[in-house]
Amino acid sequence: MSTEVKPRQTVGPAVTAPAPPPAVRRKSPYPYWFCLPAAVIFFVFFVVPTFSSFFFSLTRWDLTTWEFIGLDNYVNFFQESALLTSLKNTLIYAVVTCGLKVVLGMLLALLLTSQIIARGFLRSVVFFPVLVSTIGVGLTFQVLMDPSGLINDGLALVGINGPAWLVDPKTALLSVALVDVWKGVGLATVIFIAGIVSIPREYFEAAAVDGASAFQRFRRIILPLSRPATTTVIILALIGGLRSFDLIWAMTRGGPGFTSDVIASVIYKQYQAGFYGLSTAGNVVLFILVTAIVFPLFRYFARQEVDL
Amino acid sequence: MRFATSWRPVSLLAATLACILALGACSSGSLGSSDEGGGTTLTFLVDNSEGSTKPAQGLAEAFHAKNPDITVQVQQRPGGAEGDNIVKTRLSTGEMTDVFLYNSGSLFQALNPQKNLVPLTGESWANQVEDIFKPTVSVGSELYGAPITSSFGGGILYNKKVYEKLGLQVPTTWAEFMANNAKIKAAGIDPVIQSYQDTWTSQLLVLADYHNIAATDPGWAQKYTAGQVKYAQDPAVKGFQRLEEVHKAGYENKDYRSIKFEKGISLLAAGKGAHYPMLGVVVGNLATSDPEHINDVGFFGQPGDDAAKAGATIWMPAGLYIPKSTEGAQLEAAKKFVAFVASPEGCEVQTKAFPPSGPYMVKGCELPAEVPAAVKDMVAYVKAGKITPALEFSSPVKGPALEQITVEVGSGLRSAADGAALYDKDVKKQAQQLGLKGWS
């Protein structure tokens, strides 16, 4: 309702004031207390939890009482033997899912922007997995990927002895990553399609006149000019991969043993065990890690775009 | 514009009304429905295993029949670590049901009972509780819970038909057990069933070995709580080594990594596997899943090194607790319900609802004459006095990651010594969270 009031106030001074003094910066026509509702919400639901979590990560905490223990939680967290595996797994998972989503998403987008039959239908088919609940996907694939499940039965028909997927420590993490790609590639494709479609036709026409091959068109026009889309996909997929949890938890619970644990699942297990201070410290570490990886990457891509 | 301004008071009013309504809803919820219709409704949270829900439902109905003005409403929660999380969070936030069922022993200790639970030391039934159970739901001199459901053994469930067919004897030492396994494997039957898709089932060879630890060193639990002895040392490391031995000998079923508990128990009942390291409480499940095979399944305690000291590790029943958030008429009703559960009448109701898997912990409770074979085997250990309550009932220290570690040791991903050392580290975090001395 307050938005209805705004036009009156903006229109008012702008019309009546003859010539605003140029030297003095004009006061905003909106009173500052307009910011109050948003500020209160931001403060209560964002600033307070963030800073209190920094504080509670320095305590031994059972949700009601706490005891200040300094940096012990961080020391404990970094001594956690599962941490190194989980850190490695998190990076592998993020890089594999991100890489596959970029490559497959780009290929699918190329296919779906070319003149093929049933293009609209195929576009929705590719996007459908994005709409399905992650837990549902996880549980379904858990059944399909059972060593004697449907996927291995299918492979057996063509004479391939399928791997044990989720129960083999060597393949567990990659199997989950594959499902993540299957589920997430639709979103990457849509972003790439948008990027490719927005490239002006003139470039392609000029290239056709110059006799460029399809590959040259891709290499010299589509790839550089859809860079904003690529950046978005990489950043989104990487952040998603780094903090991924739901799919892994639904499919393997970090198992067998600790072999597919990622940082988020280690933190979750500590929370389940009632180590609230310790898991909060883990969350702070995860926050710093994601920021440390994504922020420079974002800056790098942003600079590249300016150069373009 | 007038439209806009005229909306403001209306929406304010609406918001205020919504707040009042919400507050009203809150307070009537926490006070319960005791004022309306003259009846009291008790909410009762239990885990979703059959062994808990069926007795709970039976008790709720029988109690209502006896006290028509009190209705008990059973609610379910997941078991395992997820359930622990729910119980702890609801207690901490004051949102717990009026009464609830939860493990006794170390998990009970982790609930911070002095702060969260109503002490029940002075209740009339307190003297009727078996002395072996009391410490598992007590802090200091205060008793906080009543026993609900029966006790059960933890050790090896075995298929009696396979034993008969191959002419085997129930082993009293680990060496005999492994010798039996060799013969069973030679006969083409899987000697030891494992089901690592349900990770909790992987812990049994370690947890059920506790009778053997206590037989070697009776004061082990106290020293363990004080941080003086570790799992990586003898005699406790043997449990991990036994798990490793079974894997190294290739005695487990081929699909041990991918099957769940239900499949494991049906393999055992059908005689496709000979041994299943398991809790005796699952015998009740057999009554519904494989009633025709229930008496083919027997039980023996996990064998140790010394035949003279052979016995079984016993698990105490769960406790029934009242949180501090239950007050007034609800508290009266809740205490009445707890008293009903901890009485011989309560035991009978539970027996009717779900077959018991061992003796009850209330004096004067009798097991029915006809019990499944595995329960008979278990009761024989109790009568002979050859039992030790599992470590979680003698020490509050239990690490949360044991099931992942035992999966790794049992699948050959990690050596026994390494696994035991890792478990010691895991346990240290729990001990520190509990504020125990000797663990800093």
CB of B341 closer than 8 Å to CB of B245: no
Whether pLDDT at A176 is above 90: yes
pLDDT at residue B24 tops 60: no
Percentages (nearest 5) of helix, strand, coil residues in chain A: 75, 0, 25
Q: Quick check: A275 and B433 CB within 8 A?
A: yes
pLDDT-derived band at B16 (thresholds 50, 70, 90) equals very low
Residue of chain A whose Cα is closest to the Cα of B404:
A257
Cα–Cα–Cα angle for B254, B255, B257, nearest 5°? 120
If you average pLDDT over each of A25-39, A43-57, A289-303, B339-353, which comes out highest? B339-353
What residues of B are in contact with residue A148 (Cβ under 8 Å)?
255, 258
- β-bridge mates for residue B153, sequence order: B314
CB contact under 8 A, A258 and B110: no
Statement: residue A82 has pLDDT above 70: yes
For the cut 90, the answer to whether the pLDDT of residue A24 exceeds it is: no
Q: What does the pLDDT average to over B45-57? A: 91
Predicted confidence (pLDDT) per residue in B391-412, tens digit: 989 888 888 889 899 999 999 9
| A chain contacts of residue B1, beta-carbon cutoff 8 Å | 4-5, 8
What pLDDT, on a 0 to 100 scale, did the predictor assign at position A257?
85
Q: Say yes or no for a CB contact (<8 Å) between A272 and B93.
A: no
User: For residues A11 and B74, which has the higher predicted lDDT (pLDDT)?
Assistant: B74
Residue A41, classified by CB atoms within 10 Å of its CB into exposed (0-12), middle (13-18) or buried (19+), is exposed
Compute the count of residue pairs across chains A and B with CB atoms less than 8 Å apart: 95
The chain-wide mean pLDDT, for chain A, equals 84
- Determine how many CB atoms are found less than 10 A away from the CB of residue A40: 10
Note the pLDDT of residue A35: 87
Residue B32 burial (10 A CB sphere; 0-12, 13-18, 19+) = buried
User: With 70 as the cut, is the pLDDT of residue B14 above it?
Assistant: no
**For A79, nearest residue in chain B (alpha carbons):** B425
Chain A contact probe: residue of B8, B13, B258, B427 with most A CBs at under 10 A: B258
Of A76, A167, A168, the CB nearest to B429: A76
The residue-averaged pLDDT of B137-163 equals: 92
Question: Searching chain A, which residue's CA lies closest to the CA of residue B88?
Answer: A274
- DSSP string for B149-174: S--EEEEEEEEHHHHHHHT----SBH
Which of A16-25, B21-30, B84-93 is the most confident on average? B84-93
> Which of A167, A258, A269 minimises the CB distance to B257?
A167
* pLDDT tier, B350 (very low <50, low <70, confident <90, very high otherwise): very high
Digit-coded pLDDT (tens) for A148-159: 888 888 888 888
Going by DSSP bridges, is the β-strand pair B99-102/B40-47 parallel, antiparallel, or unpaired? parallel
User: CB neighbours (10 Å) of residue B107?
Assistant: 19
DSSP B362: B
The Cα angle at residue B404 between residues B403 and B406, in degrees rounded to 5: 65
In this predicted structure, what is the pLDDT of residue B210?
94
**CA closest to B90 among chain A residues:** A63
Whether residue B35 is predicted with pLDDT greater than 60 in this model: the reply is no
The separation between the first and the last C-alpha atoms of chain A, rounded to the nearest angstrom, is 43
By Cβ distance, the residue of B4, B84, B258 closest to A272 is B84
Q: Does B3 touch chain A (CB under 8 A)?
A: yes
Question: Do residues B404 and B388 lie in contact, with contact meaning Cβ atoms separated by under 8 Å?
Answer: no
Nearest chain B Cα to A7, which residue?
A: B1
CB contact (8 A) between residue A60 and residue B432: yes
| Of the candidate ranges A60-74, B110-124, B380-394, the one whose mean pLDDT is the lowest | A60-74
CB pair distance less than 8 Å for B413 and A60: no
CB B264 within 8 A of CB B201: yes
Inter-chain residue contact A274 with B84, CB threshold 8 Å: yes
What digits encode the pLDDT tens for the residues A26-51? 677 888 888 899 999 999 988 888 88
pLDDT in tens, B219-231: 899 899 988 999 9
Distance CA B37, CA A131 (A): 47
Q: What is the mean pLDDT of chain B?
A: 86
Is pLDDT of B333 > 80?
yes
3-state secondary structure of B388: strand
Chain B CA closest to residue A72: B440
Task: Say if CB B16 and CB B23 are below 8 A apart.
Answer: no
Q: Is the dihedral of CA B309, B312, B317, B319 positive or negative?
A: positive
User: Are residues B302 and B6 in contact, defined by beta-carbon separation less than 8 angstroms?
Assistant: no
Chain A residues near any Cβ of chain B (below 8 Å)? 1-2, 4-5, 8, 60, 62-65, 67, 76, 79, 81-82, 146-148, 164, 166-169, 253-259, 269, 271-275, 278
The closest of B74, B26, B37 to B54, measured between CA atoms, is B74
Nearest C-alpha neighbor of A259 from the set A141, A135, A173, A187: A173
- Give the contacts of A262 (CB within 8 A, at least 6 positions apart): A86, A89, A90, A93, A244, A245, A248, A254
Calculate how close chain B gets to A6, using CA atoms only, in Å: 10
| pLDDT score at A25 | 64
Q: In B, which residues are within 8 Å of A273 by CB distance?
A: 81, 84, 400-401, 429-430
pLDDT of B138 > 50? The answer is yes
Could you tell me which residue, B179 or A242, shows the higher pLDDT? B179
Q: Cβ of B255 and A148 within 8 Å?
A: yes
pLDDT value of position A306: 52
Q: What is the pLDDT of residue B338?
A: 94
CB-CB under 8 Å, B92 with A76: no
Inter-chain residue contact A164 with B257, CB threshold 8 Å:
yes
**Best residue in A10, A59, A60, A64 to probe B by mutation, most B CBs within 10 Å?**
A64
Give the model's confidence band at B194: pLDDT under 50 very low, under 70 low, under 90 confident, else very high.
very high
Model ipTM value = 0.73
Mean pLDDT of B244-257: 91
Q: Which residues on chain A are in Cβ contact (under 8 Å) with B7? A: 1
**With bands split at pLDDT 50, 70 and 90, how would you rate the model's confidence at B438?**
confident
List the single residue in A82, A167, A253 with the smallest CB-CB distance to B258.
Answer: A167
Are the beta carbons of A296 and B108 closer than 8 angstroms? no
| Å between B191 CA and nearest CA of chain A | 21
Closest CA to B198 of B410, B438, B424, B43: B410
Q: Rounded to whole angstroms, how far apart are CA atoms B65 and B387?
A: 38
B197: contact with A, CB 8 A cutoff: yes
Subunit contact A257:B411, Cβ cutoff 8 A = yes
CB atoms within 10 A of CB B119: 18
Q: Which residue of A has its CA nearest to B85?
A: A272
Q: Which of residues 265-304 of B touch A (CB under 8 A)?
A: none
Q: Are B84 and A81 a contacting pair at CB < 8 A?
A: no
Tell me the pLDDT tens digit for each residue of B75-94.
999 987 788 889 988 998 88
What percentage of chain A exceeds 90 in pLDDT?
23
pLDDT confidence tier of residue A21, bands split at 50, 70 and 90:
low
Question: In a 3-state reduction of DSSP, which class is residue B33?
Answer: coil
What is the rounded average pLDDT of the residues B295-317?
91
pLDDT of A9 strictly over 80? no
The model's pLDDT over B109-136, given as tens digits with 9 standing for 90+, comes to 888 899 999 999 989 999 999 888 998 9
Which pLDDT band, with edges at 50, 70 and 90, does A107 fall under?
A: very high
pLDDT at A15 over 50: no
Q: What number of other Cβ atoms are within 10 A of residue A114's Cβ?
A: 10
Give the minimum alpha-carbon distance from B130 to chain A in angstroms, rounded to a whole number. 30
Q: Which residue of A has its CA nearest to B431?
A: A275
